[in-house]
Every structure is written in structure tokens, then in C-alpha cells.
Amino acid sequence: MEEDEFEENVGNNDDFTEDIVASAGLGLSLEKRFERLSQSDRIDQLPEFEERIGWLYNLQPCELFDEERRRFVSALDLYFIGDIGDRFKISVIYPPYFYVGAKVGRENDVDAYLSKRYHNRFLSCDLVAKEDLEKICLTIKKNTPKFFDLDLPNHLAGIQRTFIRLRFHDIDDLIKARKELQPIVKRNAEREKEQQSRPELAVLKRATSSNPSSDLLVDCLSNANVAEKQIDGIIELCEFDVPYHIRVCIDLKINVGLWYGVRGQSKSGPQNQLVLKPDLIEQPEPIVFAFDIECTKMPLKFPTAASDQIMMISYMIDTQGYLIINREIISQDIDDFEYTPKKEYPGHFHVFNESNEFELLKRFFNHIIDVKPHILVTYNGDSFDMPFVEQRAQFYGLNMFNEIGFRKDSQDCYLSRPCIHMDCIKWVKRDSYLPVGSHGLKAVTKAKLRYNPIEIDPEDMCRLAVEQPQTLSNYSVSDAVATYYLYMKYVHTFIFALGTIIPMRPDEVLRK
């Protein structure tokens, strides 16, 4: 298993703090950060070449160690499928940042304060002009539509405000600075409310409104030194909660599902460069691995990984089917067979008859490692298949993350770094337009794939494992066939089409 093929999961980005902590190493010692860096092989970048063409299928935030500055820097790992079917990864270094809003006329004071306070921790501190969306909204509300010609290009431009942009080496420093500045912003907001509630200060402010230093005159009533006056000018923090990988994608116009020309240099030279190839439209064929498991269960109870076993794992890899049998549960060996519910959904299955559950799991993990799929597909895998496999592997002393690189994140989703996990039930619930009572795999198969799948009463499965193992095998592979072709026909094209306009990972595009 290649070191950079299955790297540690960075978490789902609904929760900004949890996501960036995972990618930044916040709270870890330098030794631990070096150990993690070495383990995932992130310091290796694309060797020098003129240009390489690749289709971007995944991206992940990461850290690199800058040898010149002797410190960690934030970067974005980009995973490509080459135009000849190979795969490669590059890392794009990009400094994280957020904006600090200051009182009008006090921007230079705040800039001086921030430059002095964080001179050893930030990469740069500069003044930038951005559109003030709050003022734009207020202007629209106060004025009638006749003041705005919506046919004019960029008709909302012109209302701008100066912000201080703080750029950092890595997200670790950004989080620390944000936590230090947020109490200041809160204190200043409370002080501003107090001043507005005092009539004498309000009169003084109106009397000096034409003076650019009017805010300074008011502040002088309650501040005794220059440093305090500079701090009082900080009134808000903006865009600090944008996840790092989304920030990079927005700023550099990077989207999954598109072709790029990658021009890379050696480690000592300039960083890798991306050039969009809009003339390349046809998508490559990623390796898709769709699987489903069948488990034992107690009568009238749901399967539990603490006491039940996996008796079958069926999966399809690019239209070729496989079935792994646990002979401790299944009464006889199963020969290779075919399950093709419709002509357009072929299913030829090769069967592995393993002696016990441990050998079944090892066979399953080893096949994933050998194939190195780009996309792992399940149906309700986040809630059932993946946690069940993980717990049964732990029962035998196997770590699923160490074996295949998947583990649960803060949002209870099972993700990996280079490999995408597509749980098709997420698409069904959000995008299929099927009623709530029709979200089961069998119902979805009937509605979307237009055939009647094999159905068995769950209470009969353990009995069939002994009395009619071939019938149970047909049932098991029917779920894998339905999951695979449901993904290929509906989910794959839809998610990667959205990915060309939404600056997120495919995992997030599916689950948001």
C-alpha cells in the first residue's frame, strides 16, 4: 500500500473549528506533527516536468514543512487521474487569512497595532478594499428600485470599505489570532452600545461628525494611551470561518471534475501551477468500488456488531462482481455465478469462499488495497456498513484506518483522503424526489433502475444461510448490483457536475 494512497481523514467541514484543527495539527507537539507529516508523505511534491494533464477528482487540506523558513505551512493536496489513466498528487501552498474590520478612519491605527502584535506569527498584514455588503443591503432597503439599474454590469459595485487582511503561515496561527481578537471585538461592541446609550456622547459625536478624527475624540474620553485607542478601532472579524480548502478553491478557482494542466517544479523552486483545460470535456473512468454486507442477527432484532458476524460481502468493481463467503455461517461453498437483472445491468460474480470472518475481512481489505479505488460506494454505509465492518475488524485486532485509510469524522461520516466515499442514500434523500417512505434500496431500485430486485424477509436470512445458501448469495449480490448501477447512472455525473461550480470535495457536495 503506497504511503500517500490512504492518508488520515481531516473531517467534515460543517464544523470549521474541528476541520481546521485536524488539518493544522493544533495542539500537537512538533514531534507529533513531524511524525504525521512523514507518515502521510506530504512533503513529496510533483517532480519537475513541462506539463502534465490530469482530471481533478479530490482535494484535501494538509501541512507541509518549509525548509527555508523552518516551519509548517498550510497547503492543499490535489488528487488527479492522468490523461493516460494513471494517478498523481500535487500540493499547492496557499496562506490562510481573515479580515479585520476597523472603524472608519482608524484603519491605519489598527493595521499598525496588528503588525506589531503579530509580527512573528503572520505572513503579511495589508489594507484591502472590499464591497461592504451590509451598506449595500441598507442602501437597497432605503432607496426605491429606480435608483438601481439592474441591467448595468456589476450594478452593486461602488460601495466599498477598507479591511485589514491578516495572512498566516498555517491555520494553527490563524486560530490562535482569531481567539485573541474575538474578545476584543466583543468588548468594543459592548462599549459602542454603551456610548450610544449616553446622550452626551451622542451629541459630541454628531458635533464632530465632519471631523475625520471624530471617533478618536470620543474614544479619548475613555482611553489613556495610543495602544488602547488602536485596539478600540477593531470592530469585527470577517471570513474567519471559511474552511481552508474552500478558501483556496475560491481564490485559485479550483474545482473537482475539471481537467488541469499541472506544471510542477522541484522542491527548491516555485510551487506547482495549475492551468484549466476547458477544451477537455470527456471525463476519465475512475475506479468505482461499490459494496454491501450481509450479517447474522438474532430473531426480531437489528444486527449488532458486538455479537453478530458478517456472513457475506458482495461488491462490484467497474462492472465486475465479487462475493466473499464466510464458511463458518454459510453451509456450503458457492461457485461463480451471474446475476443480471436487466441487460444493461450485467453482473458476473467471482466467489471467494473464506474459512471464517477474519479471513473474509482480510480478503476484503486486501482487495481494496490492490485495486486502490478512486471512489468507494455504499448505500447507507455511513450508518451501517462502514461502522459494522470497522467494529468487526476491531474484534480481530484489525484497524480499518490502518488497513484501508477510512475512519469516522466529527459528523459520523466515513472518509479517506485520496478515496471518495459516496453514500448513495444521501443523494436519494436530497435529490431523488422520492417520498420519505421510499428511501430503502429496494424501493429506489424499482423507481430508478426499473426492475424488481430480489427480496428476502430479514428473519429468514440466517435460515437460508444453512438451507439455501445460493438463494442468499443471489440476494446479497443483488444489493451490490443495485448500489453500483444506481451510483453510475444517477449519482456520479450529478455530483461531479455540481463539483465544477461548488468549491468543495465530492464528499461534501454529496452530503451538504
User: Could you tell me the CATH number of the domain that includes residue 329?
Assistant: 3.30.420.10
Q: Which of 122, 66, 65 is nearest to 98 (CA)?
A: 122
Residues 233-255, buried b or exposed e (16+ Cβ, 10 A)? bbbebeebebbbbbbbbeeeebb
Domain that holds residue 132: 97-175+208-237
Identify whether residues 376 and 492 lie together within a single domain: yes
329 and 216 within one domain: no
What are the φ and ψ backbone dihedral angles of 326, each rounded to 5 degrees?
Answer: -95, 105
**The residue to which cell 500517500 is assigned:** 4
Please answer whether residues 32 and 25 qualify as being in contact, where contact means their C-beta atoms are separated by less than 8 angstroms: yes
| Residues with Cβ within 8 Å of residue 310, at least 6 apart in sequence | 293, 294, 295, 326, 357, 360, 361, 388, 389, 392
Instruction: Based on the fold, state whether residues 461 and 352 are members of the same structural domain.
Output: yes
**Does residue 56 lie within any of the structural domains?**
no
Note the maximum CA span of the chain.
94
Angle at 511 between CA 506 and CA 512, to 5 degrees: 100
Helix (H, G, I), strand (E, B) or coil at 185: helix
User: Is 344 found in the same domain as 217?
Assistant: no
Write phi, then psi, for 410 (nearest 5 degrees): -70, -15
User: What's the pLDDT at 118?
Assistant: 83
* Whether residues 126 and 221 fall in one domain: yes
Domain assignment of residue 136, yes or no: yes
294 and 232: one domain?
Answer: no
| C-alpha dihedral sign at 498, 503, 507, 509 | negative
Q: Is 317 helix (H, G, I), strand (E, B) or coil?
A: strand
Determine the angle formed by the axes of helices 386-395 and 357-371, rounding to 10 degrees: 120
Which residue shows C-alpha cell 474541528? 18
Residues 157 and 301 in one domain: no
CA 148 – CA 161 distance, rounded (Å): 20
pLDDT of residue 159: 66
For each successive 10 residues of the chain (512 residues), what is the average pLDDT?
A: 41 40 56 63 46 94 86 93 92 93 87 85 82 58 44 58 89 92 90 73 51 50 57 89 95 96 58 86 95 96 95 97 97 96 96 97 98 97 97 97 95 95 97 94 96 94 96 96 98 97 96 92
Query: Same domain, yes or no, for 392 and 488?
Result: yes
**Residue 503 domain-assigned?**
yes
Residue 37 lies in a domain: no
Does 226 fall in a domain?
yes
Q: Based on the structure, what is the number of domains in the chain?
A: 2
Between CA 403 and CA 414 the distance in angstroms is 14
Gap between the Cα atoms of 103 and 189, Å rounded: 11
Indicate the burial class of 186 (C-beta count within 10 angstroms; 0-12, 13-18, 19 or more): exposed
223 with 306, same domain? no
pTM as predicted: 0.82
Contacts for 440 with CB less than 8 Å, ≥ 6 apart: none
Q: Show the cell assigned to 102.
A: 476597523
The verdict on residue 263 lying in a domain is no
Q: Are residues 504 and 375 in the same domain?
A: yes
- Say if residue 212 is in the same domain as residue 340: no
Map residue 225 onto helix, strand or coil.
Answer: coil
Pairing of strands 348-354, 420-423: unpaired
Residue 509 has, within 13 A of its CA and on its CB side, a CA count of 25
Please report whether residue 423 resides in a domain: yes
Contact status, residue 299 vs residue 459, Cβ threshold 8 Å: yes
Other Cβ atoms less than 10 A from the Cβ of 463: the count is 11
Same domain, 330 and 226: no
Residues 6+ apart with CB under 8 A from 419: 6, 58, 372, 373, 374, 375, 376, 405, 406
Task: Judge whether 265 lies within some domain.
Answer: no
Cell 454529496 belongs to residue: 510
